[in-house]
Structure 1
Amino acid sequence: MDIKDFKAGSYRNGYQYRYFLPEKINHPFYWTDPTINELLEKASVRLGELNSFSRFVPDTDMFIIMHIFKEAVLSSRIEGTRTNIEEAFIDESDINPEQRDDWQEVHNYVNAMNAAIEELETLPLSTRLIRNTHRILLSSGRGQHKAPGEFRTSQNWIGGATLSDAVFIPPAHTELSDLLTDFEFFLNNQDLKIPHLVKIAIAHYQFETIHPFLDGNGRMGRLLITLYLVSSGLLEKPLLYLSEFFEKNRSLYYDNLTLVRTRNDLAQWIKFFLVGVITTAEKATETLRNIMNLKARIEQEHILAMGKRSRQAMDLLRYLFKKPVITVKEAQTSTGLSLKAANDLVRVFTESGILKEITGYQRNRIFVFDAYMKLFSEQ
């Protein structure tokens, strides 16, 4: 099917409302729009550069956790959660009680992503894996009573207080079985010969339109993008996440999804998606480069000058790249030092400007690896 001839779906009558029934997507797509080809080529090059750079970065896995936490914070923020990345690394016991639901949702996202990446080693990207991931995503916090891991058996809607004033009403739950079977076939149908980036752009649109869960569809749909890129081999490591791009361009994100449903404009959505991949891959590569520069500078300017404490200082620095918000007790555990020696080492790191104390307390102090955190701040 030529993308310009794509028909997104039709409206059907429910009980005192109309829902949108999307067309199935498990069929070939092609296009004659040269802009899509140009963006696709550029996005593929940028992903290739990110993969290449990650191969030459020692201990890439050490930095992946920061990418996942940032994605969790931003993806949850689109849904209204207000935890920042610094708070996400603080232990739950140190979080204000009124913020703990937000904190929990971010950690659920991190746990869901990690579990899904691991599960991809034994399972294809399927409705089963999606349900397993969703179960973790809503395992606790505000979504725990919204049927985690189960496709909905009732009507949901987007925007508005009720079905009567809803902005968009997804298909009736009775349509989900056929739609999700088609969706799963599309994800795994290698005979279609659709470039992976176009395929996941279409799949993300379709997932958000089907809205198969009572809650957590947006987070699951954004998480799905990274899972597909990893499962298809386009990404060697889970280092690319589009939530920051979608958050910064939130109106355009929703407008472009809506344009597919209202004007059948799938091409415009694909262009927007590819621009997001290009922008995000460029930033991810630059972040990796900055991480390596920061690590080298701290080692040369500070760690090597610490004499007999250099080995423990290096252990602490490596730990900070995985968990950049710590206590003295965590410094002790990560280095094997006595509590006093760990406290002295944290003090040296603080005096050197590597760590910054953020509580102002004399006891139960919390320290942040500030320069590293700033590399992941939204710009």
Structure 2
Amino acid sequence: MKPPYTITAAILNLVASISQKIGKASAHYLDKPSPKLRKENRIKTIQATLGIEGNSLSESQVQAINEGELLIGFERDQKEVQNAMALYERWSEFKPSKNTSFLSAHRFLMQDLVKNPGEYRNKSVGITKGKTLTHIAPPADRVPYLMNDLFQYVADNPDPLLIKSCVFHYELEFIHPFIDGNGRMGRFWQSLILSKSHPIFEFLPFETIIASSQTDYYQALASSDACGQLTPFIEYMLGVLDKSLANLLNTTNVVLSETERIEYFIYIGTKDFSRKDYQRIFKNLSTATASRDLKKGVALELFSTYGEKNATRYRVLV
């Protein structure tokens, strides 16, 4: 599959801007944000991606559900939130170029909301805005072939990853492989594709930008449909990613607490390390502060130690 799009000056400028912002975010330890920021952004992502599809719950209500509360009178909306939480909690299980993984993700997202979650549609569908038919999706018997072709594109095509993720998002909306859940899956899978090379995208709530510009979102899809080129949608989505990264970078001046630094270090997966290794992650941390962090980690039984004095090393116990 060779997607029809043109590399415009706008696309080149946005790719450059996004790449620069990814670098800045990485330099400020935001490849994978602090536990508090990760949690806040996950809530924003879920509320926004569901809100785009008509879910009425606010961020505070999504937060309440996340903390185990039950909301009376919002059964379907609440179920959508619970399913989305179950999906995002399994982030690391999904493979961007695997059809089976994609269907499994839809099963988690739409369990008890549609008749056959995790299965491609077996009937024709059209998309309407009001009383106007705006898009007729390909015939149902073509869906498996088209989706396999799309996953092959993700796996093998040399297109830049930023553009490839936008192509997948658009093509998924065009194919409309499911009876319901296509929009949510498109946004989720674009994040997944990007996160495999840039972990920051796992916790980047770009859906909030789309939610605040839904008319532009649907217009970009319609414009690409009308001209038979993905260029309008790619330009729109790259703009969304650029704005979302800019918003995230505004958090880089937040000072992490001792506990947040320890939690973040454990999260990035280093199992055996020295104090210098710890300071390589937190480059502005003094030796004395790093030593206090590690001492607290040992006291909390999060780290064990071996070796002596300058040769002391640490192992993560959790």
TM-score by length of 1: 0.63
Matched, 1:171 2:145: no
Task: Name the structure, 1 or 2, with higher relative contact order (CA <8 Å, separation 6+).
Answer: 2
AA at the equivalent of 2:174: T
Change in CA separation of 1:35 and 1:244 when aligned onto 2, cut-off 3 Å: same
The reply on whether 1:186 has 2:118 as its aligned counterpart is no
Q: Find the residue that maps to 2:29 and give its secondary structure.
A: helix
Give the counterpart of 1:133 among 76, 80, 105: 105
Q: Does 1:103 align with 2:78?
A: yes
Whole-Å Cα distance in 1 between the matches of residues 72 and 128 of structure 2?
28
Please give the alpha-carbon distance, in whole angstroms, between the structure 2 residues aligned to 1:133 and 1:56: 24
From the superposition, tell whether residues 199 and 97 of structure 1 become closer, same or farther in structure 2 (CA, over 3 Å): same
Match of 1:49 among 24, 44, 47: 24
Match of 1:11 in 2: none
Partner of 1:270: 234
3-state DSSP of counterpart to 1:272: helix
The whole-number CA distance in structure 2 between the counterparts of 1:266 and 1:30 is: 5
Distance apart, 1:53 and its partner CA: 2.0
* Residues 174, 277 of structure 1: alpha-carbon distance in 2 compared, 3 angstrom cutoff: same
Consecutive unaligned residues in structure 1, runs of 5 or more: 1-25, 300-313, 319-379
**Any idea what the Cα deviations from partners look like across 1:344-379, whole Å, max 9, x if unmatched?**
xxxxxxxxxxxxxxxxxxxxxxxxxxxxxxxxxxxx
CA spacing shift, 1:151–1:30, aligned 2, 3 Å: closer
Residue type of the alignment partner of 1:215: D
Residue of structure 2 equivalent to 1:33: 8
- Report the CA distance shift for 1:95/1:188 in structure 2 as closer, same or farther (over 3 A): same
Residue in 1 that maps onto 2:293? none
Return closer, same or farther for 1:55/1:33 CA change in 2, 3 Å cut-off. Answer: closer
Match of 1:220 in 2: 185
1:87 to 45, 61, 86: 61
The alpha carbon displacement at 1:49 in A equals: 1.9
RMSD value over aligned CA atoms? 2.6
* Matched residue, 2:167: 202
Please tell me whether the aligned partners of residues 126 and 133 of structure 2 are also in contact (alpha carbons under 8 angstroms): yes
Amino acid at match of 2:226: T
1:48 maps to amino acid: G
> C-alpha separation between the residues in 1 aligned to 2:162 and 2:193?
9
Deviation at 1:34, TM superposition (A): 2.2
Matched, 1:75 2:29: no
Unaligned runs of 5+ in 2: 264-318
Q: Distance in 1 between matches of 2:97 and 2:88?
A: 13
Deviation at 1:284, TM superposition (A): 1.6
CA distance 1:220–1:32, change in 2 (3 Å): closer
Residues 258 and 94 of structure 1, relative CA distance in 2, 3 Å threshold: same
CA distance in 1: counterparts of 2:155 and 2:201, whole angstroms: 20
Cα distance per residue 1:130-180 (max 9 Å; x no partner): 11111010113xx2x331111111122222689xx5332211101112211
For residues 294-352 of structure 1, give each alpha carbon's deviation from its aligned partner in whole angstroms, at most 9, with x where no partner exists: x65xx9xxxxxxxxxxxxxx79xx9xxxxxxxxxxxxxxxxxxxxxxxxxxxxxxxxxx
Q: Are 1:146 and 1:215, in contact at CA under 8 Å, matched by a contact in 2?
A: no
Distance 1:213 1:56, change over 3 A: closer
Do the aligned partners of 2:21 and 2:246 also contact (CA within 8 Å) in 1?
yes
Q: What are the Cα deviations for residues 39-64 of structure 1, in whole angstroms up to 9, with x where unaligned? A: 1111111122223323588x724432
Q: Tell me if structure 2 keeps the 8 A contact 1:208–1:221.
A: yes
Tell whether the 8 Å contact from 2:120 to 2:144 is kept in structure 1 after alignment: no
Distance 2:232 2:243 in 1: 17
Which residue identity lines up with residue 64 of structure 1 in the other structure?
A: R
Change (3 A) 1:119 1:198: same
Pick from 128, 132, 144: which aligns with 1:159?
A: 128
Number of matched pairs:
260
Runs of 4+, deviation exceeding 3 Å = 28-32, 91-96
Q: Do the aligned residues in 2 keep the contact of 1:50 with 1:282 (CA within 8 Å)? A: no
Matched-pair contact (CA < 8 Å) for 1:159–1:166: yes
1:198 is displaced (CA, Å) by 0.8
Larger Rg over CA atoms: 1
Q: By how many angstroms is 1:236 displaced?
A: 4.7
Percentage identity across paired residues of the two chains: 23
